[in-house]
Structure 1
Amino acid sequence: MNSRSDSSSSKVMCQMVPGLDTNEKEYILDQTFERYTSKMVKRNGKGTAIVWFRNDLRVLDNEVLFKAWVDSESVLPVYCVDPRVFQASTRYFGFPKTGGLRGQFIIECLVDLKKNLMKRGLNLLIRHGKPEEIIPTLAKDFASHAVYAQKETCSEEVNVEKLMTSHSPPTAYLMCTLSFVSLLKQNVPSEAALKFQCPSGQLPCIEDWGCVPSIEQLGLQPQEVSKGLRFLGGETAALSRVYEYFWKKDFLKIYKETRNGMLGPDYSTKFSPWLASGSLSPRFIYEEVKRYEKERLANDSTYWVLFELIWRDYFRFISVKYGNSIFHLGGPRNVERRWNQDQRLFDSWRNGCTGYPLIDANMKELSATGFMSNRGRQIVCSFLVRDMGIDWRMGAEWFETFLLDYDPCSNYGNWTYGAGVGNDPREDRYFSIPKQAQTYDPEGEYVAYWLPQLQKLPREKRNFPGKLYMEQIVPLKFGNPNGDRASAARKNSYGGRGRKTTKGYMS
């Protein structure tokens, strides 16, 4: 990422992602659907099928919606505003399960999904309550022959599926979209999976379809993004972002070189919030990368985008293989290690008041925008678990509250990996803050952006301001920024490592 001057860095406030106007986004949506829509699909079903939308808030390449439409005469799309998602607390430490930023993002996804369904002759029925109570009642009322839904892999979601399938009739088809990894390894013809004929069929007669809830109706506190990146939720925005990053700005060709950036909208794809909500299909990204390689060029960067998607699927497979252990203190490997839960230390970390600008800036960005770069996530994780010795689950649950792109597989997979209790052959992975700062924020632009009090300092002082900033809450275990020889020796023996990137966020 190119450096900016002090003045430009301080003037940049809130940037919308994608940065296209409404007319552009609608045009891209229509053109994308036209490109990936088949006119050859025939419907052969009878009766009414219910489509239970979960984390698949899209129309394009939605296998669940497609199959329900093919197998029925009419389709009833349903979304349940589940209080266990929006009003509950995290498992161990009681943070809000969904923060206001992600709540607003989901609201925007639902507004967009409803609009896109209505353009194609359908609608979205919105009901408040538990799906296992709402869906069977609807199925009975409309004599539905089947319920179609995307199958999840983690226990909370799976438990809801079990409760759903215990009701009969109807038969509940819990489908899992074809794995992206399988797509690559088995050479499955992805084009067939992406083809979707726009429905124009019948709808059940319903007087009250329900409105998309407001943030207050979700029981969440509204939060305005006034600085940093502001992500717009929904499939329309997701497809526009792919077009903007790949085709309009042509940044795909340099993705590998810029992906470890930290400031601005275009150092990386920023696809992860839409992937997590299901507003964007991984297979669509794959198709667009392949189209780009055919029409423009293929290089390490185009490969690397696909490689990141494979990591995302990898964590889903980890959740299947290891089950709830990804949420347990010892992780999938059942590692016994002493952790502390010092509230004062943790509060300094989550509030961005540790005395280390690189840590504090990243945590300020997270609380202000719901996003943090992949590089930043690795650094703050390492600091919390290695330098502070804090229970890694506290960090994982804090991320669960705030991240726009939260999904349990990637979030907890990455935290167990970073804490040395997951599938990482190097148990002592450590990210040296001085080294990370010198490599990824050498002129201190990122920290100065999020910590304005540092803007007046010389660039070389911003990441290491000493007494000009605030007292450091703990000393670093390795990599003393003052060049202490003993610390440097410990760093060399321990590794001071962290070159290999923790994946799965598609940030």
Structure 2
Amino acid sequence: MHRVLLWIKQDLRLDDHPALQAALDADRLLPVYVFDPELLQPGPLGCRRLGVHRARLLLESLAALDGELRQRGSALLVLQGSAERLIPSLAERLDMDEVLTLDEVAPEERAQLDAVRQRLGDIRLLLAPGNFLLRDDELPCPVDQLPTAFGPFRQLVEQRLPVFQPRPAPARLPALPDNAGAYFASLPSLSQLGLGEPLSVANSAFPFSGGEPAAQARLRDYLWLSQGVRQHQQTRNGMIGSEYSSKLSPWLASGCLSPRRVLAELRRHEAQYGRNDSTQALWQELLWRDFFRWTLLRHGGALFRAGGLKATARAPRQLDRRFQRWCQGRTGVPLVDANMRELAITGFMSNRGRQVVASYLVGELQQDWRHGAAWFEEHLLDYDPASNWGNWAYLAGIASDPRQRRLFNVLRQARQYDPDAAYVSLWLPELHGVPQHLRHTPFLLPHLQLDALGYPRLESIPENWRPYLPSAA
């Protein structure tokens, strides 16, 4: 009798799941997810690895996956502790023949796979391809020869792009091992994990639930029902509401959605309705995600060190009270503060907002970019190590290179992307009493008036903001 343990990590789905497909011929199959409470403790940079918003999405996704498994004659076993200890122990006690899981790209996760492999002894650990678009054998060249810049990477990939035919979720699954029932328990709640329940926020740009069914519903809606994808290029720099972008990233990050499924559906949409700038923009975003994953696999831990890459060698290393003000959304710059408060309250922030706040932290405040990346790691619903640390390192490298001054002018960004101050009005209630044309520049108000509002004063106005100040100022 062939007995398999399916170790589920950031792949909380049944559709296009290569490890699950490889396990379908087993006589007994046990799907297992291990939640490590250590993620809730502060890390080396002071932030938790997992904050309340992503924890909520994770628990919803686990409950949804358990439901999908039960419809197919199986169930999800969720354990709390360290995977290095629990997976080998469980595999031995239940007399498993092998452990199947997806491969990883980040250094800590790869080290964990090695530790589990060593402790499994005679039980095999088999790795299926991870959550990439392209797999090793589909790359245009060996990993260590991939271009280090996105443009050449994209050109290479588009020369011989494979056609993806993801395999759907199976209708039935092998039965659970007879002796596994004693290990099952109900999912912990956020309160039991010591996190408390986040408030529901009407203004959230991501009002969706975790789990594969919600992910598939959004994909259907964005590509087929509302066809929002056809305006993606025009709306992608928006900051208000759920429809300005695909919002697929939280489900991609948790593995509730396969990037190969997204691209297969996008190509099917293009075949039916035609390709345009917007569908191409979504394709490029998927490719950026893959580019950062291959970059992380190639550079490993260097991506997480202050000067680990050539690009970040000259990035600022300071850390002072200005970093705390940035985290709290109290810098005195409304566009930055509104975005940081949206992140803290909801766990989400627009792509435009992320670039603005990151550029401001590194370029204007001259703070250590790694602490900004760690803050994002704790708070973002769609945190993914490759995209998060890759994007921050990319920005820190550009910001520190005097030949490439591509730092954002925050006030210019505010005028361009929030011209009526609708976005800052949404998240900064203390500015409601300020005339609309001054809501991006409350630092021009008299001291007493600003103090009465309870909004912080900007210490100095950058010279390059002057063209974007109100004309009366």
Scaled by the length of structure 1, the TM-score of the pair is: 0.81
Q: Against the structure 1 CA distance between its residues 483 and 361, is the aligned structure 2 distance closer, same or farther, given a 3 Å change threshold?
A: closer
Q: Would you say the 8 A contact 1:227–1:369 is kept in 2?
A: no
Shift of 1:255: 0.3
**Match of 2:142?**
none
Equivalent AA in structure 1 for residue 422 of structure 2 = E
**Match of 1:119?**
71
Shift of 1:164: 0.3
**Match of 1:49?**
4
**Secondary structure of the structure 2 residue equivalent to 1:75:** strand
CA–CA distance in structure 2, aligned partners of residues 337 and 49 of structure 1: 47
Equivalent residues in 2 for 1:297-376, closer than 5 Å:
297-333=274-310, 335-342=313-320, 344-376=321-353
**Match of 1:175?**
128
Q: Against the structure 1 CA distance between its residues 422 and 297, is the aligned structure 2 distance closer, same or farther, given a 3 Å change threshold?
A: same
Q: Against the structure 1 CA distance between its residues 354 and 67, is the aligned structure 2 distance closer, same or farther, given a 3 Å change threshold?
A: same
Among 99, 107, 110, the residue aligned to 2:59: 107
**Match of 2:216?**
239
CA–CA distance in structure 1, aligned partners of residues 375 and 326 of structure 2: 10
**Match of 2:269?**
292
Percentage of identical aligned residues: 37
Q: Against the structure 1 CA distance between its residues 151 and 326, is the aligned structure 2 distance closer, same or farther, given a 3 Å change threshold?
A: same
Deviation readout 1:327-352 (Å, 9 max, x if unpaired): 1111421513543111x211211111
Equivalent residues in 2 for 1:444-483, closer than 5 Å:
444-465=421-442, 466-467=444-445, 469=450, 470-477=455-462, 479-481=464-466
Shift of 1:200: 3.7
CA–CA distance in structure 1, aligned partners of residues 85 and 55 of structure 2: 22
Q: Against the structure 1 CA distance between its residues 424 and 231, is the aligned structure 2 distance closer, same or farther, given a 3 Å change threshold?
A: farther
Q: Would you say the 8 A contact 1:136–1:164 is kept in 2?
A: yes
**Secondary structure of the structure 2 residue equivalent to 1:223:** coil
Among 129, 134, 143, the residue aligned to 2:95: 143
Deviation readout 1:311-365 (Å, 9 max, x if unpaired): 00111111111111111111421513543111x2112111111111100100010
Among 101, 108, 130, the residue aligned to 1:156: 108
CA–CA distance in structure 2, aligned partners of residues 405 and 377 of structure 1: 12
Q: Would you say the 8 A contact 1:348–1:473 is kept in 2?
A: no
Deviates more, 1:462-471 or 1:210-219: 462-471
**Secondary structure of the structure 2 residue equivalent to 1:51:** strand
Q: Would you say the 8 A contact 2:251–2:382 is kept in 1?
A: yes
**Secondary structure of the structure 2 residue equivalent to 1:386:** helix
Q: Against the structure 1 CA distance between its residues 259 and 476, is the aligned structure 2 distance closer, same or farther, given a 3 Å change threshold?
A: same
**Match of 2:24?**
69
CA–CA distance in structure 2, aligned partners of residues 325 and 423 of structure 1: 17
Q: Against the structure 1 CA distance between its residues 105 and 180, is the aligned structure 2 distance closer, same or farther, given a 3 Å change threshold?
A: same
Question: Is 1:207 aligned with 2:181?
Answer: yes
CA–CA distance in structure 1, aligned partners of residues 163 and 243 of structure 2: 31
**Secondary structure of the structure 2 residue equivalent to 1:378:** helix
CA–CA distance in structure 2, aligned partners of residues 268 and 75 of structure 1: 38
**Match of 1:90?**
43
Q: Would you say the 8 A contact 2:398–2:405 is kept in 1?
A: no
Q: Against the structure 1 CA distance between its residues 410 and 424, is the aligned structure 2 distance closer, same or farther, given a 3 Å change threshold?
A: farther
Shift of 1:155: 1.7
Equivalent AA in structure 1 for residue 289 of structure 2 = R
Among 193, 217, 224, the residue aligned to 1:218: 193
CA–CA distance in structure 2, aligned partners of residues 89 and 391 of structure 1: 18
Q: Against the structure 1 CA distance between its residues 170 and 474, is the aligned structure 2 distance closer, same or farther, given a 3 Å change threshold?
A: farther
CA–CA distance in structure 1, aligned partners of residues 458 and 433 of structure 2: 23
**Secondary structure of the structure 1 residue equivalent to 2:23:** helix
Shift of 1:166: 0.1
Among 381, 404, 407, the residue aligned to 2:384: 407
Deviation readout 1:292-316 (Å, 9 max, x if unpaired): 1122232111111111000001111
Deviation readout 1:384-409 (Å, 9 max, x if unpaired): 11111111111111111100011111
**Secondary structure of the structure 2 residue equivalent to 1:194:** coil
Q: Would you say the 8 A contact 2:292–2:390 is kept in 1?
A: yes
Unmatched 5+ residue regions in structure 2? 139-156
- Give the paired residue count: 434
Q: Against the structure 1 CA distance between its residues 204 and 441, is the aligned structure 2 distance closer, same or farther, given a 3 Å change threshold?
A: same
Q: Against the structure 1 CA distance between its residues 471 and 127, is the aligned structure 2 distance closer, same or farther, given a 3 Å change threshold?
A: closer
Among 24, 35, 45, the residue aligned to 1:81: 35
Q: Would you say the 8 A contact 1:181–1:310 is kept in 2?
A: no
CA–CA distance in structure 2, aligned partners of residues 63 and 478 of structure 1: 54
**Match of 1:59?**
14
CA–CA distance in structure 2, aligned partners of residues 306 and 142 of structure 1: 43
Q: Against the structure 1 CA distance between its residues 426 and 161, is the aligned structure 2 distance closer, same or farther, given a 3 Å change threshold?
A: farther
Q: Would you say the 8 A contact 1:432–1:478 is kept in 2?
A: no
CA–CA distance in structure 1, aligned partners of residues 273 and 32 of structure 2: 40
Equivalent AA in structure 1 for residue 52 of structure 2 = G
Shift of 1:264: 0.7
Equivalent residues in 2 for 1:423-502, closer than 5 Å:
427-465=404-442, 466-467=444-445, 469=450, 470-477=455-462, 479-481=464-466
CA–CA distance in structure 2, aligned partners of residues 305 and 153 of structure 1: 23
Shift of 1:197: 2.9
Q: Against the structure 1 CA distance between its residues 477 and 340, is the aligned structure 2 distance closer, same or farther, given a 3 Å change threshold?
A: farther
Q: Would you say the 8 A contact 2:52–2:196 is kept in 1?
A: yes
Deviation readout 1:386-437 (Å, 9 max, x if unpaired): 1111111111111111000111111111111111279999653200012101
Q: Would you say the 8 A contact 1:351–1:364 is kept in 2?
A: yes
CA–CA distance in structure 2, aligned partners of residues 54 and 199 of structure 1: 21
**Match of 1:258?**
235
Equivalent AA in structure 2 for residue 103 of structure 1 = A
Equivalent AA in structure 1 for residue 37 of structure 2 = P
Q: Would you say the 8 A contact 2:233–2:277 is kept in 1?
A: yes
CA–CA distance in structure 1, aligned partners of residues 360 and 305 of structure 2: 20
CA–CA distance in structure 2, aligned partners of residues 427 and 172 of structure 1: 46
CA–CA distance in structure 2, aligned partners of residues 312 and 263 of structure 1: 23
Give me the CA root mean square deviation: 2.2
**Secondary structure of the structure 2 residue equivalent to 1:415:** helix
Q: Would you say the 8 A contact 1:77–1:124 is kept in 2?
A: yes
**Secondary structure of the structure 2 residue equivalent to 1:283:** helix
Question: Is 1:190 aligned with 2:145?
Answer: no
Deviates more, 1:403-412 or 1:166-175: 166-175
Deviates more, 1:382-391 or 1:202-211: 202-211
CA–CA distance in structure 2, aligned partners of residues 422 and 82 of structure 1: 36
Unmatched 5+ residue regions in structure 1? 1-45, 485-507
